[in-house]
Structure 1
Amino acid sequence: MWRSELCETETGKLTAAKAFLLDAAMLLHRYGTPSHRLERVMCKVASSLGIESVFLYTPTALVISMKDADEETTVVRRVDSGEVHVDKLFRADEVLERLERKEISIEQAKDQLQQIDQSAPPYPFVVYAAACAASCAALAVLFHGSLVELVAALLIGLCVAGIERVQSGLGRQRSLLQPVAGFVAAVVSLAIARFIVPLDDRLVTLAGLIVLIPGLSLTVALTELAVGHLSAGVARLAGALVSLMTLFLGVAIAWRFAPNWRVLPEHPADTPVWWQWIALIVVPIAFAIVFQARMAQWPVIVAVAMLGILVSRSVLPYYGVEVASFAAALAVGCGSNLYARLRNRPALIALTPAMIVLVPGAFGYRSLSALLDHQTIEGVEFGFHTVLIAMCLVGGLLTSNAVVPPKRIL
């Protein structure tokens, strides 16, 4: 719910412009804006209002210092970073741009941001759940799973979406979502392997949990560290690692709960090659829905995501996964920035759903899985590859900003 987040005594001390800046910053953080982008865009808006400002944002704290002709005011707020919401970020960016150009007043901008914050999601829960299930099924195909494993991952994706809906409805802390979802995903995959049909339960569990694996948060955290936002980067990195470990905690408990349920197929089957191409198209659309991007934004999201995937697959056989990750991120970043320049839209619209296909969250999961099985060397190797690939992605994104400078900050 939209509110100024200020008590009445504090509201009286702030001008309308300062109160608006605080509210706008809270809204942008609520929809997953990285710290380096939030701080830059809010300083630009404040400058257009004649206010000298400094914004310091981490996933758990927002510190704002605002100075006008009258006085300097510093406000500290405890915040919780939300999930990326592409549609609301897009609409909020439009409002802030119109305010900068003096096309609307502060009060009008405040009312429009209030309407954006209170607006319903662009898709009903049924569509969201279907997108989660489709992304899990498509990832099972990309992991070279069989038809049976595809169907099992789809079922687990629906279960994870249902758990998320129940948790949200009960108002419980989101930290409970990861271990519960991990436990359910692992138990369901093991039960299918034991009582219905043999399958690779670990592949199915990984694919079924792909929506919750914090690979994107890890990449954003390393980006923040690379551009000098150390407090935000460290906080986000710690949060991503804890989320991954609590997610895997539920999986590990399930594996100890039913150790004899694992039944692997005698002759593992792979899906046809043309299924891979269908999955490559389905994945970006599914994640576009998960990130609440409207249908009008799907073509550019699919185009940028496919560009990154094609570049990665073209480079991989010749130069290895590190160079392929760098090149793919460079292509995605250049494509997103080009779209932002041509259409005067935030690059995050295309960048976020496209990057989720490239982020190394699966390697982090496999690292913990190997360590649990006492395969220390393999676990350390997977963990190292997780960090290495994430840094390659960050390097590609930063290079893309130099090759095709973004027109917009978001």
Structure 2
Amino acid sequence: MSAKGVYIPKFVLVSFTVGVLGYYVVRFPLLPLSSETKLSLGYSRESLLNMTMRVAKHGFVAREYSVETKDGYVLGLQRIQTGGSVKGGKKVPVLLMHGLLQSAASWLDAGPGAGLAYLLAKDRDVWLGNVRGSHYSRRHTTLDPDSSSTYWQFSVDEIGRYDVPALIEKVLNETGSETLTYIGFSQGAGTYFIMCSELPHYCEKANLMIALAPAARQTNTKSVLYRFLTESMTYLEGVLTSLGVQEVFSKGALSQEFLAFFCQLSSLSTKICEMGKDLLDSLDSLHPGSITNDTIRTLFSNFPAGTSVHNLARYGQSMKSEYFQKFDYGQQKNLVLYGSEEPPKYNLSAVTVPILAIYGRNDGLVDTKDVQWLLQRLPNVKESMEVKDPLWNHLDVTYSQYTGEMIFPKINEYLNKYDYAS
């Protein structure tokens, strides 16, 4: 039993601790196995397909785009459509933004019956964004992510200021629509609020914002494992940087490949996937039966998808602050960067877009107290909905087999209400 009564199995805690202090934080690709070899070992075909192929397999059409931010990062952006015309008039495009350590693939991992991207794309034009440092956005116009420490000096502060507006602009330019609907999960919601604070005119480019388990301040986070990870990065960032470690938990790293490899082995998959569920439960909160074994096998081929040490350190700071504010570099550097000893607080009153917020009572990462704190400061919340399932947790948003009945109806209700482009 750990702090606040959250139980972490010993093997999970030991494995995690060893991993963080060793290879688990290092991007260390294994020798690649061919697709044929993986299939013979029992990998599911779904887990071996890239996003375009996965979408096509289920009868949708996918297209990939590259988006350049104002500070030179090159982001991946995927578009999913049915291939036919959207019924009922011209509907506003929908942009989905993933959470921390995820990529756009997370919206697909639960399959066509439960993945939110699939559910939406049946009659809407759906776009999936990827933030800097994640698997589909690990590029830059001048910096090499494999050798440049400068590339990895980013957190949600930069994602909100540069990535989100660049992706919004691309969607609007490609579709010719004046507005879009923005759906952000966790980090994907928090970075939208940052954008509105820093660049308020971008809020006018959305007709509706749907905040799924929105992450702003995280003072009351219950997850011991998540706190341990992020607060460790806060203290160890300088040491890790001096050792040349700026990227963590990337797709293709030893950690991700280990989970993907052993979870796919047909003879061991049940036991290993149960361990994978144990790990997810230790990271979040228990919700037995919500995420299927098939989804576990698929998601570990895409998760974790990478971020920077600096970003995790930023989350560690959010555990200790009562505010939603920029990275705290210490008084001296704060004075140089911000003109004040304390990091500036984000102006949540600038988030004027209509908002639907959906959250779970059992969320181990974004606590309901922090959600309520956030919603009280947003000026245009149309509705906040606590999911009726009392065990609904954080990772259920993207991976639960019950997404179609627990959160999609409310999302669809609001899309229909705000949907049609002028």
Tell me the TM-score normalised to structure 1 length.
0.31
1 or 2, which has the higher strand percentage? 2
Identify the structure with bigger relative contact order (alpha carbons < 8 Å, sequence gap 6+): 2
